[in-house]
Structure 1
Amino acid sequence: MGNGRVSQVLARQYDRISERLERGIGGPQLRTTLVGDLTGRVVEIGAGTGRNLPYYSKADHVVAVEPSSGMRSQLMGKIDSAAPAVEVIDATGERLPFEDEEFDAAVSFLLLCVVDDLDGVLTEIHRVLKPGGRLSFFEHVRDVGRRGRTQDLTSPLLRRVQFGCRPNRRSIERMQALGFEVQVSDPPVPIKPRPPFSGPYFTGTAIRR
């Protein structure tokens, strides 16, 4: 989740709540696409309850960054079933406790819509990636036209009732502005049923130039 304000109650229920989303996005296949080919040393920002861990089939070492104590407690219970070695870190995406150019890859999964400082998180990811390293992401961004304008209007309310989610984030544009070379899925990832105010959703890679 990447949000330290997640309550203990939500953390305990998060996996159950996520099942509906999993069915709507084809969860196992999407997660395999997202992390299955990553190699070397990988950092996942906002790892939540660790739902991606079983799909790291080629990574040597995964560092799971999660600021919510409730989420971390759920995540710790899944480490034994994970393929690579997993290290769990209490930190936020805005202040990653790592050296420059430490990681071969980074992962974000529905993270960038909830972080307080989008540019700060992307700058930190850029810093800790090796040159040519990639951020592998599944995120939703602001739409265009009337739907985008509706997202601008509803974002302040939705942020309060949907755990900090901001549907009008321009995350891909900010990746490009901060020095990443970005490729996204075309067409966007289909979501069934489509959320009324969020989307489009994309998988993609952002390469540190």
Structure 2
Amino acid sequence: MTETIPQHTFEQHSVRGPFNAAFFAAMDPVLQRSLRPHKQRVFAGLPDTVVEIGSGVGANLRFLPSGGTLVAVEPNRSMHSRLTEAACQQGIELDLRERTAEDTGLPDRSADTVISSLVLCTVREPEAVLAEVRRILRPGGTFRFVEHVVAAPGTVTRASQRLLRRPWAWTFEGCSCERDLEGAVRAAGFAGVTVERYRIHTPFLPFNTQIAGVARVKGLDRRDLTP
């Protein structure tokens, strides 16, 4: 049998990949101080099995129930060893898949919950990723996200995002600070979307405008249920 090559591929860069793995491992305590309250809110009550797109080095493992399972869709091989070690330390069973978020390879309607944090800024096609999330979610399932987004026009933060966009994108493997990700999630066809906008305070000015929220897939209509 000939294996179908995924349409979306990830470049395993010899410099950026290891740098990002080391960077996010080192910065985890700093990022958690800023993002923990928002993650605690949107990641509250996660089920025993969770799909995460862009699991990185495992920053969100701490929000999963002990003994649970993480289906980690992470294309960057440089992240894998740290992610595996972190899952072991947290007592989480890891199902690691070297795939992109646009093409997870998971079956239709196979997940109750999909999570992401600081991921939609890096993917090539956010709309394709959101369509993939909807495809794999079961009726009534949720997509829970924490992301950084474009700042308001005319602000210093917005000017810095525009000025630094090219070196920022190169360093952080395609990350864009100029995406209206709230608009993208709201336009993705979910049955309901709740979003909190907020600002964190770090030296990384382009990164400081953020959103956290939950998008829900429509539940089964009674007519869809088998008697």
Query: Which TM-score tier does this pair reach, normalised by the shorter chain?
Result: 0.7 to 0.9
Work out the CA distance in 2 between the residues paired with 1:45 and 1:91.
Answer: 9
Aligned to 1:197, the other structure's residue is in SS state: helix
Please state how far the C-alpha of 1:127 moved relative to its aligned partner.
Answer: 0.5
1:103 positional shift: 0.2
Go from structure 1 to structure 2 and tell me whether the alpha carbon gap of 1:115 and 1:26 turns closer, same or farther (over 3 Å shift): closer
Cα deviation, 1:109-135, whole Å, max 9, x if unaligned, reads 100111111111111111101122111
User: Do residues 120 (structure 1) and 128 (structure 2) align?
Assistant: yes
1:20 to 11, 15, 30: 30
Q: Which residue of 2 aligns with 1:103?
A: 111
Instruction: Select 2:143's aligned residue among 125, 128, 135.
Output: 135
Structure 1: gaps spanning 5 or more residues: none
Pairing partner for 2:210 from 191, 201, 206: 201
Q: In the alignment, is residue 164 of structure 1 matched against residue 174 of structure 2? A: yes
Give the alignment's Cα RMSD to 1 decimal: 2.5
For residue 85 of structure 1, report the CA deviation from its aligned partner: 3.0
Partner residue, 1:11: 21
1:191 corresponds to which of 200, 204, 214: 200
CA 189–144 in structure 1, closer or farther in 2 if over 3 Å, else same:
closer
Deviation of 1:36 after TM superposition, in Å, equals 3.7
Query: Structure 2: which amino acid aligns with 1:170?
Result: D
AA aligned opposite 1:72: H
The match for 2:183 among 173, 176, 195 is 173
Whole-angstrom CA distance in 1 between matches of 2:67 and 2:101: 21
Report how many aligned residue pairs link the two structures: 204
Instruction: Report the CA distance shift for 1:193/1:79 in structure 2 as closer, same or farther (over 3 A).
Output: closer
Q: Percent identity?
A: 27
**Which secondary structure state, in structure 1, belongs to the residue aligned with residue 146 of structure 2?**
strand
1:50-98 CA distance string (max 9 Å, x none)? 1211220278432111111110111111222334433111111011111
Q: Contact 1:44–1:65 at 8 Å: present in 2 too? A: yes
Question: Contact 2:69 / 2:93 at 8 angstroms: preserved in 1?
Answer: yes
SS at 1:48 equivalent: coil
Q: Which has the larger radius of gyration?
A: 2
In the alignment, the residues of structure 2 paired with residue 119 and residue 11 of structure 1 have an alpha-carbon distance, to the nearest angstrom, of 26
